[in-house]
Amino acid sequence: MAPKSKKPDPKPQPKTTTPNWPPLRPLLPAADLTLTPLLTDQIYLIRNFLSGTLCKTYASYLASLPLTTTPGAPKKDEALRVNDRFQIDDARFAEMLWSTTALKELVTTRFEEDEYGYDHAEDDGTRSSSSALAERARQLWGGEPLGLNPNIRIYRYSAGQFFGQHYDDANNLTLPPPNSRSKATPARTTWTLLVYLTSCTGGETIFYPEPTRANRNPEPIAVAPEVGMALLHRHGDHCMIHEGAEVTGGEKWVLRSDLVVPR
């Protein structure tokens, strides 16, 4: 009898390969976009951050990725959430999302334009000096913004799915060197970035302001997903408790990363 052939050595587990992300175009010109405060120092919106066409391309591309339904086994202290997720470390994509879109420009130089509905720096004939602007940027973002967290998360919520109330943690990470001549940068996350790729019924991201003496019962702030809208909210020690409300119709697709500053 022929000897049993030896089982081939188990193949090394294939690492999840980096997605072949569709190009980030068409995009609206950065000049047409603004970073609008919803709650100063806490929540900002960029409407039309990604174009409708691009969001359609992305939602159908992302549906081809191996999303997994959570919860698997919910860990202690984890928010109750039910959605389909995909997660990948992709520094190149994070850098593209930061630099080729309007995000970098809005976050580093145009973050206060809309604070009073107009660009007040020019009113008295003076422009804020670039060092004053940089200082205000550091205050707001918790440091000089370097880019986005390479940890890219994709969520799909179908009807009945949601993300229960929670706080987002700040995380330490090391940004890879942009080229062979530079060094890796120790960094930390300070703000959450959510980009809504679809609209849906329900599915609002809802923030719950802390009661104060002046307002013991503040109204929750609900953001309804809009195609292509980006939302930035402060996280870590200054995070507001928030949730992703249950989707009642359609699908809610979200791309999640975080703003990163030096540590």
**Interface residues with Fe ion (CB under 5 A)?**
168
Helix (H, G, I), strand (E, B) or coil at 170: coil
Q: How many CB atoms lie within 10 A of CB 15?
A: 8
By beta-carbon proximity to ligand AKG, the closer residue of 84 and 168 is 168
- β-pair type (68-70, 185-196): unpaired
Among the listed residues 148, 173, 175, 254, the single contact to ligand AKG using CB under 6 A: 254
The Cα–Cα gap between 188 and 169 comes to 10
- Nearest distance, CB of residue 204 and ligand AKG, angstroms: 7
- Does 163 contact ligand AKG by CB under 6 A? yes
3-state helix, strand, coil in the chain (%, to 5): 20, 30, 50
- Does 256 contact ligand AKG by CB under 6 A? yes
- Nearest distance, CB of residue 15 and ligand AKG, angstroms: 24
The Cα–Cα gap between 175 and 189 comes to 11
- Does 207 contact ligand AKG by CB under 6 A? no
Which partner in Fe ion, ligand AKG, none is near 205 (CB below 5 to 8 A by kind)? ligand AKG
For residue 253, count CB atoms less than 10 angstroms from its CB and return exposed for 0-12, middle for 13-18, buried for 19 or more: buried
Q: How many residues bind ligand AKG (CB under 6 A)?
A: 10
Which partner in ligand AKG, Fe ion, none is near 232 (CB below 5 to 8 A by kind)? none
Contacts with 45 (C-beta within 8 Å, 6 or more apart), sequence order? 35, 36, 38, 223, 229, 230, 231, 232
- Does 242 contact ligand AKG by CB under 6 A? yes
Amino acid at 8: P
- Nearest distance, CB of residue 155 and Fe ion, angstroms: 10
Among the listed residues 44, 155, 191, 253, the single contact to ligand AKG using CB under 6 A: 155
By beta-carbon proximity to ligand AKG, the closer residue of 79 and 134 is 79
Q: Which residues bind ligand AKG (CB under 6 A)?
A: 155, 163, 168, 192, 194, 205, 242, 244, 254, 256
